[in-house]
Structure 1
Amino acid sequence: MTANSHTPRIMPDRQTNPYMTNVYHIAYAPGIKKAYLFHWNCNLKCRGCLCKKEINCLALEENLDVVARDPHLAPPRGPESFLSLNGIMETLRKVELKEVLFEGQEATIDPHFEEICRRLKSEFGVYITLNTNGLKLPDLANVDEVVFSLKAVTPELYLDYTEVPNTKMLKNFEAIFRSGKKLRAEMVFIPGYIDMAETEAIARHIARLSPNIPLRIDAYFECGDNTWRRATPEEMSQAVALAKKHLNTVTCTQQTTDNLDKKDLFFEVKRLF
């Protein structure tokens, strides 16, 4: 990949450094003792991926303007450095830790994913939450909760958005549910694209497994070379109402102002790496 592209970046030579992970950034919220591990590389090519606009934690003070940034500017450069397994542990030992959330692109394709989880659990005893697109299903023995991103359930729409069929993803979603692992679903509402009809289709699909699986609907904001506009608060309310026809717990996230300030955040977030 070039420095300014979203294609998977060539990782450090694993023959010379076999313990290098895909973790390129760690953020930390002191107030809730929670760390966010950001992984690089992905097995999807989502047209609306936030990493086309910002690759580091959006809650950092320097990134509170992300929504207002021109989406047609050059994408951010890829990471310049990564952490080894020991580097992750050494970084996290500097803080009090209760919870770790896997963020960034796709954590499950990190060749050390399972070992990272095992070491986090054995050394810190933390609650581990995995954000995933669900295309790969690793050993989740040390993961406490999975937040599964259902980009779309309509096959043609999923393929158009990600360049990958959704058959395997949907099977893995069901497999995680059947395993008894704590499971939440999320989606991104994109006006005129992944819109009301697809929102209800996603909710129906989830409800076939259980109406008790929570769904979070994120409002799209402009990123990448797309023509889609931001969702309005009214549209988000309507999308939530549609999903609630099928599911018991539906929430949404939406940034309604371009000018966030630190006081607008629920808690402070700082950079550890």
Structure 2
Amino acid sequence: MKEARFYEPRENNSVRCVLCPHECLINNGKHGICLIRKNINGKLFQTAYGEISALALDPIEKKPLYHFHPGSSVLSIGTNGCNFRCDFCQNWHISTAETPRQKTTAAELLKMAEQSESIGIAFTYNEPTIWYEFVSDCAADFKKQGLKNVIVSNGYINKEPLRELIPLIDAANIDLKGFTEGFYKETLGSLEPVKNTIRTLYESGVSVEVTNLIIPTKNDDEETFLSMCGWLASVSPDIPLHLSAYFPAYKSAILPTEPETVIKMKEIAEKHLNYVYAGNLRHEKNDSLCPHCKAVLVKRNGYEVKSYLKTNRCPECGKQLYFCV
């Protein structure tokens, strides 16, 4: 365990956690919605510090990040807990309960990354922001060694901790689950803080990509989706958008998203955004094309990747691109 950051003492040994917008008031002996931030005798502790529930060497495209060092691999870790409660969660077995965890250190992870020729580390699988103390400490060590730090997050974090984390983060994929407060209320979250995270990351120079899981009857309204794409374009039309088909998981038994729906949404999004990908459709091509001259920049067949980029400029027309290579 490690004493948590971003909390305030309250009466009767309770504490107010101010890491995320829930700002849980936590009584002595209890934990917040995230499961792994616990009040012990009037102090808030991170109870999963240096403890991982999942570890793998993944293609960077699996995060998904298509514009950040295409074709590379990244050491990926996660722990338990989440500050959302999505009925459709695909990683519910580690996000909704505490499971057996393996102890590790930043030094051990650095050694793994270097031995595996990883570009760095990705904090993923569960919500990394609730693991803030270990993520920031580990990311600082990776940064010192010239390696990259990636977060795959729901973006539900308060402004101050986000600002402090940003200098350590090189790339982020943010899950924009929908574009109405009503839909976010079902996940026990709120839309505006997520929008703030996306905008703040982009304006701070972090390489940002966004994922949207299309769930029938929940967030597949075309007019709302169009508004979401328009807002994202107002931040930058270069931010890549990954559209994913939903499949039943956890507590959700809604029928899977039809491939035709994803393709239709992709066509809508492409009216506003320069890079739109249909993430988990087997036969959909996900090559990256130059938005200026349509030259193929990165060719993809699943996780097999062929990049034609040497810099962040198009090899054909020379225009600057939203890529880190």
TM range (shorter): 0.7 to 0.9
Q: State whether structure 2 residue 95 is matched by structure 1 residue 47.
A: no
1:187 partner letter:
N
Q: State whether structure 2 residue 176 is matched by structure 1 residue 150.
A: yes
Cα distance, 1:150 vs structure 2: 0.7
- CA distances 1:65-94 after superposition (whole Å, capped 9, x unpaired): xxxxxxxxxx99734434344443454454
- In 1, Cα distance between equivalents of 2:87 and 2:215: 11
1:181 pairs with one of 189, 192, 206:
206
Q: Does the Cα contact within 8 Å between 1:189 and 1:231 map onto a contact in 2?
A: yes
Cα distance, 1:166 vs structure 2: 2.0
How many residues in Structure 1 have an aligned counterpart in Structure 2?
234
Q: Does the Cα contact within 8 Å between 1:9 and 1:78 map onto a contact in 2?
A: no
106-115 vs 169-178, which moves further: 169-178
Higher relative CO (Cα under 8 Å, sequence separation at least 6) belongs to 1
Cα distance, 1:240 vs structure 2: 0.4
User: Which residue is equivalent to 2:104?
Assistant: 83
User: Which residue is equivalent to 1:167?
Assistant: 192
Q: Does the Cα contact within 8 Å between 2:113 and 2:119 map onto a contact in 1?
A: no
1:39 partner letter:
T
- In 2, Cα distance between equivalents of 1:131 and 1:216: 13
Identity level (%): 21
Q: Does the Cα contact within 8 Å between 2:36 and 2:47 map onto a contact in 1?
A: no
- CA distances 1:35-80 after superposition (whole Å, capped 9, x unpaired): 112232111112211113x659xxxxxxxxxxxxxxxxxx997344
Q: State whether structure 2 residue 306 is matched by structure 1 residue 266.
A: no
Cα distance, 1:112 vs structure 2: 1.7
Cα distance, 1:134 vs structure 2: 1.0
Instruction: Identify unmatched segments of 5+ residues in structure 2.
Output: 1-32, 60-70, 284-300, 305-325
User: Which residue is equivalent to 1:222?
Assistant: 248
User: Which residue is equivalent to 1:114?
Assistant: 136
2:257 pairs with one of 222, 231, 256:
231
1:224 partner letter:
Y
In structure 2, relative to structure 1, the CA distance for the partners of 1:19 and 1:120 (3 Å cut) is: farther
Q: Does the Cα contact within 8 Å between 1:196 and 1:242 map onto a contact in 2?
A: no
User: Which residue is equivalent to 1:24?
Assistant: 53
In structure 2, relative to structure 1, the CA distance for the partners of 1:37 and 1:225 (3 Å cut) is: same
Q: Which structure's CA Rg is the greater one?
A: 2
Q: Does the Cα contact within 8 Å between 2:226 and 2:269 map onto a contact in 1?
A: yes
Aligned-residue CA RMSD in angstroms? 3.3
Q: Does the Cα contact within 8 Å between 1:42 and 1:106 map onto a contact in 2?
A: yes
- In 1, Cα distance between equivalents of 2:45 and 2:188: 33
User: Which residue is equivalent to 2:122?
Assistant: 101
User: Which residue is equivalent to 1:130?
Assistant: 151
Q: Give the TM-score taking structure 1 as reference length.
A: 0.73
